[in-house]
Each structure stands twice: as structure tokens, then as C-alpha cells.
Chain A
Amino acid sequence: MRKILLGLLAVCALALTAPAQSGTVLLNAAGATFPAPIYSKWFDVYHTAHPNVQINYQAIGSGAGIRQVQAGTVDFGASDGPMTDDQLAQAKVKVLHFPTVLGAVVPTYNIPGVTASLNFTQKALAGIYLGEITKWNDPEIAKANPGVKLPSDDIVVVHRSDGSGTSYIWTDFLSKASDEWKNKVGKATSVNWPVGLGGKGNEGVSGLVKQTPDAIGYIELIYALQNNIDYGSVQNAAGKFLKADLAGVTAAAAAAAKEMPDDFRVSITNAPGAAAYPVSSFTWLLIPAKIDDAAKRDAIKAFLKWMMADGQNYNEGLSYAKLPKPVVAKEMKQIALVQ
């Protein structure tokens, strides 16, 4: 018995003191759930190309990701919403934002007897979610859909019950569409919704909408595409009704690229331009500006360069939109700031 115990102890000691495989860089990252599929793909492909670099990503949510970056417990983080000035001030090191992919949010609905794809003006969506537009045949909705017979039923509003980047994008858009929304409700991953039922996750919202007659909800574009869920068109800043697709989302980012601030903390909802889909957004990687470990720093910088060039080719396969070229060019310059 004693010999077995001694043997076990020896093995443990050896395992603990054995030096790590020289040259392997292990990076830990955590954050947003929205881009988790594309990040997993990227980290996997990158590891195959560079076997000495291993990146471990945990999709624990944007809020948790930001907290980890602030505390310095991860090498880098990811978030669907940019960090606020307060959050940046609380971080131990300066944090740089790198946009990685684009996402969009689409309105989905279930109206008995209506199979046509509906157009929604910005005022209509804001009014519905504020609880001011209560019936489907309200003039604000009807005038954008001539020829569609809308019932006089009460609208059942559905929103996200869990905190999420999708809600952030949606409320950001509504804040721009309506001053009343901006002052009364605001934009965040979780807000005090004036009306509506809450569903957990994209699947919760789409499930509730599918099951409840006269319901309207919002879901991620990717989720809608992958599950063949029909969705409506939203009016953009130029007045055109656009049904979301990857090209429209990239156009929104390109339009916003001209005014892009240097720290990339920008909202691209309601972007100018006729081809821009108004409910689009970046998702960011949060990289510390100062990394002490030289191996980790070089690995992160190399990965970022790869991500902006080859990595983008994998986006459309997973239904994420690519970053437009002007944004990529600007980001490449920011990589130099990581020291």
C-alpha cells in the first residue's frame, strides 16, 4: 500500500515539474457567444497551420468576457458590444478593440393569413416595441405594405429574456430610430422592455414567435438563415426597405468605415447608404495593448494578421459577413499598437 502511494506521489511530482513543451504558446480567451462558431473555426484552422499555437476560447458571454479582460485573467476577450469608457477605465491595462466579423438582426413574425414578406419602417418597429403600436393593421405598418391584408389583431411582442449582443444591436437600432426609445429605454444587452414576452436565446424567441399567432420578434440573421426562418425587411437610413443578407451587412460596415473612430468602438446600425442593412453590428476582440509575455504577444499579433486576411474567407461559409477592405486596412495599423 505504502509503495503504491509513494509511486503515485512520484508520478504526480514528475508531471507537475515537467517543463512545458518548448515553443508551445497557449492562449486563453473568453467572451461573446454570437461569434463563437467562427472563432472556433478560426482557432482550429490556425492551430493546424501553426501547431505550436493553441487558443482556447470559452463562450461565456460578452459581459463575462469584458470582466475577465478587466481583471486580466484571460489573454484576450471578445464582446458583441464595445466597452464603455467606464469599463475601459476599470481595466488593468489599456484594451484595444479589433472588429472581427459582422452580424445582423432581423425581425421575424407570425401573422395568421399573411405569407408575404413584410416591410417595417423604423417608426413602426420602435412603436411596436414601445407598446404604442398595438394592432397589426396600424397605418404605420399598413402604409409600408400596400396590397397586404393585415388583420386587426393585437401584436404580441417577443424579445430576449437573457442578456445578449443581439439585444444590444436591436436596442441600439431602436435608439437611433426613435428618440422616445433612446430616452425611455436605452441600449444595452439587457433593458427594461416596455412590453412583450421574453424568450431565452434565439431559439426561445423564434420558438415563441412560431407558436404564438400575431407575434413579432427579433433574431440573429445567421440563426434565421441556418434554420430557414422567414423574416421581414427593415427600412434603412436612405429610406429603402432591405431584406438582410451578408452583402447588405458588409455594405453597412463599409459605409461606416469613413467615419470610423480610431479605436473602432463604433455602432454601425442605421448606417448611411442605399445598400446598407440598418440593423448590423461588429463584434470585437478585446486585446490588451501591453502584453508582457513575448511569445504570447507575437502569437496574438500573428493571429490577428491571419484573421484579417485568410480568416475572413471562412466567414461566409458560416453565414457571417466579411469585414470590408477599408476597415481591414485600418485594423492592420492598429496591430502595431499591441506591445
Chain B
Amino acid sequence: MDGAVPPQAGPRSFVHRLRDGDEVAHVVTLIFASLILLVTSLLVFILWEKSQLSRAQFGWSFFWTSVWDPVFSHFGALPFIYGTLVTSVVSLAIAVPLGLAAAIFLAELAPRTLSDYIAFLIDLLAAVPSVIYGLFGIFIVVPMMRTTIGPALKHTLGFLPIFKGPNYGVGFLTAGIVLSIMIVPFIISVSREVLLTVPREQREAAMGLGATRWEATWKVVVPWARTGIMGSVFLALARALGETMAVTMVIGNDPKIAASLFAPGYTIAAVIANEFTEATGDLYLSALIELGLVLFLMTFILNGLARLLILATERGGGHTS
């Protein structure tokens, strides 16, 4: 690059820059980037437009109505919003401790070759189609929940309102467990990568000050990487919010709000997958599309909160990798 540009009067013209390739790269990458934006905007536009009928009919009450009646055309999103949030929270509650602990082990405590092999296997887990997880849920998790896990929880923690009520095997808790298995690879993969980028000086400095191996890991390395770890958690949350097939096979598909985790429920993605093809009637279809819009909004809000949290953490001393 040094000395390659001949001295010329004034800035080079656009055509000149084009022929040199810089401008071409600039334009091409700009086009691709704007294509993504265009597709997203188109998606939102279609969701907005096709749900017009339902929005006009129900207005804001769509958010707090609990009835979903295709025959009498009363539609409300509340049970689905509740189901989506509950299953996602349960799955995070299970996956985050598990995933973080596994990532810490793989990054800090395991020998490097073992860590690489296991990381490869975990990445394979992420590639399994969600229908397979659904089948795994139906054939293994549901019977286990009904015969073993459910009664055990009732026996020990049955006084809590979240563990009261009949246990069918399918329900919020089962869906949460299946979802957690699906999202844990994301947390492990990304967190492990982030933990591996923490500079050795940090660890060595901590040990030099007298910290034990665990203290150095937990009090110095993990906080350094906490922005990346939070990013991985929100990535996992995004997957959990949108997961369709695996959830619909194990959640019981009952659009009701219940305090108990053993109760059957319904999520937005599941109801759209189940009812879209057979939906006759414009209002019905429009209500389903409005549900899609609601899910999009939820994801948008949660991602926004994630950004804010990461920003706040950065100011507090975390580092982006």
C-alpha cells in the first residue's frame, strides 16, 4: 500500500476508486448488510399488515384476554405469553447453572485436549433437530416426570404452589427441562470461548496474590468474562422463546394459566405451528399472525434489556471479548 498511489491533483473519482476494488468491497458489503435489514423490516411489515384485522377487532385487550376460542372468534394472547415466559424462565433456571459450571470446567479445570473433544461433542448437541428433542421428551422425559421426578418433587417440595396439582407428565416443567437440554450447548460453547480469552495475566495475578485455583476462577476470571457469558445466556433465551416442535410435543397444549409447573400450558410458537394450516376464517388467521407479532415484540424487548444489562455491566468493569 505504501507508495502505490501515484500523486494526483484532488481526490480520486468514484470510478477510479471502483476500479481499484476498495469501493467495490464497500458497496457489496453495504448491499448485503442492508439486505438483512430489508428482510427484517419486510418481516415486521408483513406481521403488522396481516394482523390488521385482529388488531382492529381486539385492540390492546388482546394482551390480557385469556380466551382462545376459534368457534366464537374470541382471541387473547395472555395464556400463550405466560406459557412462553414460564417455559423460558424454567429452562434458563436449569440451563444457566449447568451450562456455566460446565463451561468453567472445560475452560479452566479440564486438560486442554479433553476440553476440545467435549466442546466438539457439545456443538453436535446443538445441531440435533428440535423434533428429535421432542421425541426424546415424549419417550423419556414425560414418563420420568410422571413416575419419578414429579412424585419426588411433590414429596419434598409439595407445599410450594408451583408443585401442587395433578401431574400428567406433560406440562410447563417438562417443557422447561427439554428446552434446557436444547439451550445448554449454546451457553457452554460461547461461555467456554469467552472464558478461554481471559488473559493469563489476570489468573496469574490472582494466584500471585494468594488466591486458590477456585477463587481465581470464580472471583477474577468469570467476572472478567461476564459480558460474554450474559451474551450467551440471552442467545439461549432467544432460542428458548422461539422453540416450537419440541415444546408442543411435551407441554400439553392447553391454553390456560396455572400456578403449578405440573399443569399443561401453551406457548406462542406451539399454537401457531398447531393451528395455522387449518385456520379457516380471516380473523382466526389474523389473530395467529398477531401472536407472531407479539412474540417478535417479546424477543425485541428481551434483547433490548439484554443490551442494557450488558452496557451496565461493561461500565461496572466487565470486558467484551
How many A-B Cβ pairs are below 8 Å? Answer: 87
Partner of B278 from the list A63, A86, A198 (CB cut-off 8 Å) is A63
- Give the chain B neighbours of A199 by CB distance below 8 A: 253
Pair A190/B275 contact, Cβ less than 8 Å: yes
A66 at the interface (CB under 8 A from B): yes
Pair B277/A200 contact, Cβ less than 8 Å: no
Interface residues of B in 218-258 (CB under 8 A from A): 248-249, 252-255
Interface string of B59-72 (1 = CB under 8 A from A): 00000000111111
Partner of A186 from the list B72, B138, B146 (CB cut-off 8 Å) is B72
Pair A200/B279 contact, Cβ less than 8 Å: no
Closest residue of A by beta carbon distance from B170: A197
B136 at the interface (CB under 8 A from A): no
Of B74, B169, B280, the most chain A CB neighbours within 10 A belong to B280
Of A86, A156, A199, the most chain B CB neighbours within 10 A belong to A199
Pair B69/A192 contact, Cβ less than 8 Å: yes
Q: Which of A203-211, A233-241, A320-328 contacts B (4 or more CB under 8 A)?
A: A203-211
Closest residue of B by beta carbon distance from A156: B168
Nearest CB of B to A305, in Å: 29
On chain B, the number of residues with a Cβ less than 8 Å from chain A's Cβ atoms is 31
A189 at the interface (CB under 8 A from B): yes
**Interface of A: prevailing SS:** loop
- Give the chain A neighbours of B143 by CB distance below 8 A: 211
A188 at the interface (CB under 8 A from B): yes
- Give the chain B neighbours of A60 by CB distance below 8 A: 277
Pair B138/A207 contact, Cβ less than 8 Å: yes
Pair A192/B264 contact, Cβ less than 8 Å: no
Nearest CB of A to B79, in Å: 11
Interface residues of A in 176-230 (CB under 8 A from B): 185-193, 196-200, 204, 207-208, 211-212
A270 at the interface (CB under 8 A from B): no
B102 at the interface (CB under 8 A from A): no
Partner of B166 from the list A67, A154, A191 (CB cut-off 8 Å) is A154
Partner of A162 from the list B71, B254, B264, B275 (CB cut-off 8 Å) is B275
- Give the chain A neighbours of B321 by CB distance below 8 A: none
Closest residue of A by beta carbon distance from B284: A190
In the complex the two chains form, what is the Cα distance from A211 to B254 in whole Å?
A: 18
Pair A212/B277 contact, Cβ less than 8 Å: no
Interface string of B40-84 (1 = CB under 8 A from A): 000000000000000000000000000111111010000000000
Of the A-B pairs whose beta carbons lie under 8 Å apart in the complex, a sample of 6, sorted by A's number, is: A156-B168, A161-B248, A161-B274, A192-B72, A198-B264, A211-B146
17 other A-B residue contacts (CB within 8 Å) besides A186-B72, A190-B279, A199-B253: A60-B277, A61-B277, A61-B278, A161-B270, A162-B275, A185-B71, A192-B67, A192-B68, A192-B71, A192-B72, A198-B266, A198-B274, A200-B248, A211-B169, A212-B146, A212-B168, A212-B169
